[in-house]
Structure 1
Amino acid sequence: MRVEIGRKVAVVLVLLVVATVNGPVGTFDSMTLLERFIYWGLLLPVVSTLMIVGIHYANDGPHLRRLHPLLRITIGAVVAGLPSALWVMTLGATLRGFEFTAYGVGFRWVIATIMGMGIGVIEAYVRPRDIERHMRERLADATPEPAPEPVREDPLFIRNLSPDLGREIISISTRDHYLDVVTAEGKDRILKRMSDAVAELNGLPGLQIHRSHWVALDAVERLEREGRKARVVLKNGATLPVSRPNIPALAEALEKR
């Protein structure tokens, strides 16, 4: 609230300085610099306060809330325009020698109402949107950029495979002293123990489901059970047996993937 009042006072002071120096509506030729300062110093704060109070009450008052905001602004400007016009006419008659007439009051009432409506539209529509835009820009500038995702290193086991087979391992199975490795790109057979292969997979999401088989969890289509026996159906259509002790661990891992 204090910031808002301070902003309005600052605007009035700026207008006072501009009006005093430039002397609009004939005050430059008919008044000295001091007289202009006194005239505009009495006119601007009073008229501004009347308009602010009138439009504020029309916008926030309990009796006009059902009306459209533009209609409320118009009513507030019209109501505040009459005392504003009377004050302008009083200063004109006192300091500038104008004749105090009903026509003069009516003319200044219209001018004050139009100016008040412009001020009300700026305060109710233009300025709030400008403040919202600045707030969004400040929030966007203050929001830290997301940290880059850590680069996932390939498992050490990949170095055993031909580059043509890619890096997406589906399954590994033992055959005598060799391992049959199935990837998304093809198959390969390498000389290595299963225990060494599992150690070199470096935490790749997968599980040794049998003493002779390891599978990547993402490659598993489903787990099938038939009595005490179980097997996995892979997405490439292959099936591999699951030893009984490994069934609970595999079922839990598939649920969490």
Structure 2
Amino acid sequence: MNEGPLQLTLREMREMFGSGRVWAGIVTVAVIVGLIGPFQTFSHFSTGPRLGYWLTTVAITYTGGVFAGSLVINAFEYYFKTTNAVLHVMVAGLGAGTAVAILIVLINGIALGDWEIPGFQSFMVWVYCVAISICISTLHYLFDRPKSEVINPPKQVPLMARLNVKNRGQLYYLSMQDHYVNIVTSNGAELILLRLADAIKETDGVRGVKIHRSHWVALDAVAETRRKGSGMVAVMKDGAELPISRGQTEAARAAGLLPIAPA
């Protein structure tokens, strides 16, 4: 059973909302907006109810927007096998903006009855929300990626779409652990419920070789090969030493990891 877009999104949400900085940011924005009182909320509410309204609005729309944007982009990358930057930003912005627009209408309908936000009636609510979400998605994509990814972008391989965004990078190696595959990149490692053979099929664009029944390595991530005991190991860029089994010796030699055997 593979981890699908919904499971990946829920895992990302748990990690995100487990961060104190996220909650601090939500509260800070809510307090600032609540004190300013935009869209006539300053005259519509007294200070306490106004702060409560904006705290509720910011928390719900942020949660809904993040969930919808992440779910849409994870589904897009999962099914279409692409991590194109422009598509990432547009699809995430469209999904998040649509969810936020719906939530704003519902919140105002429940809290304010027939009151409407001046200048944001009907279709324009959706337009503004999508435009703002696309801008936020762009900033997130540009500034929230690891610096190594910005300097040396990883190959856009289908397997990357299965990983948490923070773990996407240059693919190093794949290792079986029980029924899971440990996918190791330049930015981290993540266990995915997947067969090794299926994971290897999703490494298109990366030159690699299976060196053991439990290990596949990207050739560019192998620092060296050396003898260890009675066998050979591939030393990876992150320092891991992966065994090269006797049954995979010829494949490793053909890939250039081992010297050509003397005639």
TM bin (shorter chain): 0.3 to 0.5
TM-score norm. by structure 1 comes to 0.44
User: Which of 1 and 2 has greater Rg?
Assistant: 1
TM-score norm. by structure 2 comes to 0.43
Higher RCO (C-alpha 8 Å, min separation 6): 2
